Amino acid sequence: MAKKYSFACKDIGMSCGFRTNAASENELMGKIAEHAKAAHNMASIDAATMSKVKAAVKTE
């Protein structure tokens, strides 16, 4: 059974209802990066935010 990766913005303290999931961590990070750019005006995710994001990613 393949793992699923999911992430919710609120899990890193954002007041944002965005959540997403993907079949791989790579795909998930791509979706998060796109969202961060479009919704949070982050052209790139800095290292501190990235480690928070990675800690908040859930697998099931």
| Site residues, Zn ion (CB under 5 A) | 9, 14, 16, 18, 39
For residue 40, the minimal CB distance to Zn ion (Å) is 6
Cα distance between residue 49 and residue 32, in whole Å: 11
**Smaller CB distance to Zn ion: residue 16 or 22?**
16
Q: How far is the CB of 7 from Zn ion (least distance, A)?
A: 10
Q: How far apart (Å, rounded) are the C-alpha atoms in residues 6 and 39?
A: 18
Q: CB of 25 within 8 A of CB of 6? A: no
Between 2 and 11, CB nearer to Zn ion: 11
